[in-house]
Amino acid sequence: MSAPEELKQTVLPQSVLAPLTRAAIFMVVCVKPDRESYSTVRSFCGGLAGLIRAVEFRDIEAGLTCVVGFGSDAWDKLFGNPRPAELHRFREIRSNGRHAVSTPGDILFHVRARRMDLCFELVMQIMQSIGEAVSTVDEVHGFRYFEDRDVMGFVDGTENPRGDAALEAALVGGEDASFAGGSYVIVQKYLHDMKAWNTLSTEGQERIIGRRKLSDVELEDAEKPTSAHSALTVIEEDGKEIKILRDNMPFGRPGYGEFGTYFIGYSRTPRITEKMLENMFVGRPPGNYDRLLDFSRAVTGNLFFAPSATFLETVGQEAPTVAAIAAPPPEPDLSSSPSVRDTSLGIGSLKGVRDE
């Protein structure tokens, strides 16, 4: 499978398309507001691949990977211009008590492997490298639950694209050639009210999710409410479904009554995931919201850009210009949400991109 011309056969993505694993650690940090800290992080970027290889070598078959993404504010201070065309702060959503919160976060580390000890070791090594330059704002240790289910008992990730479709969905192409091979990443940490959820009948739960709990088969249209989670997260354009690539993980602390799902969605443009969230929290049409939110609460929300592995390896220690730090591009107008048709990208093909 050869790389497309638009990647000029020199750009390798990060391991966005890595297969599902049994364990993961999601860590979000903020860079301390001084030039030395930003310099430390820039220097770290170039050595990350080597650090991953060093830990991975302990068990090659365990499939250790790490994807690193950067928030809008951090991008300007770390790398300056140019910047990814659609990178901006996470768009907060409020609607009748439902709230998709926006929380602090400069850098995301998404570490995956078949063994949690490898994930743990890599995160420990990362923090030994940059711990003095950052402060951790969130760390979640995820695990695969029975039959790839979430803690609510339903299979998660059934509709993930595969093969060439995953490449098309997740990786930037010629529409932003300077950042081809990169990916936009939206993350949210959801906490579930399991006591209330478990008072529902299985049939009631199935109508909220839109799938059979045991078989994972999607409900027929005549049976599935328009407010079902699986209905509201389908985005179509010109009769074609536009997908994102998810790698959600359950997490929790039963002793503290904490049960949750860490949502992570990779996409070629953040507008697709943002439209899904708008449908969930506001409704399609407004008011026809995702009833899963009656039992689940978002407690974090961030948008990052994960540049290509090639970009990271060529990052130097030199700071961006003062102008780039002092005057970042204006944030987009959030007063109105994009329509489904606005997700038209005209981006051509990414088939054949090599996944490292």
What SS3 class is residue 172? coil
Return the closest-CA partner of residue 26 out of 285, 304, 314, 242: 304
Secondary element (H or E) of residue 125: helix 116-130
Three-state DSSP class for residue 37: helix
Choosing from 138, 156, 247, 355, the catalytic residue is 156
Q: Does the active-site annotation cover 247? A: no
How distant, in Å, are the alpha carbons of 74, 116, 182, 268 from that of 273? 21, 28, 16, 10
Sequence-ordered strand ranges (E) for the chain? 23-31, 65-70, 93-95, 98-100, 107-113, 134-143, 183-192, 235-237, 240-242, 245-246, 249-253, 258-267, 296-298, 302-306
For residues 89 and 86, give the distance between their C-alpha atoms in angstroms, rounded to a whole number. Answer: 10
Indicate which residues carry an active-site annotation: 156
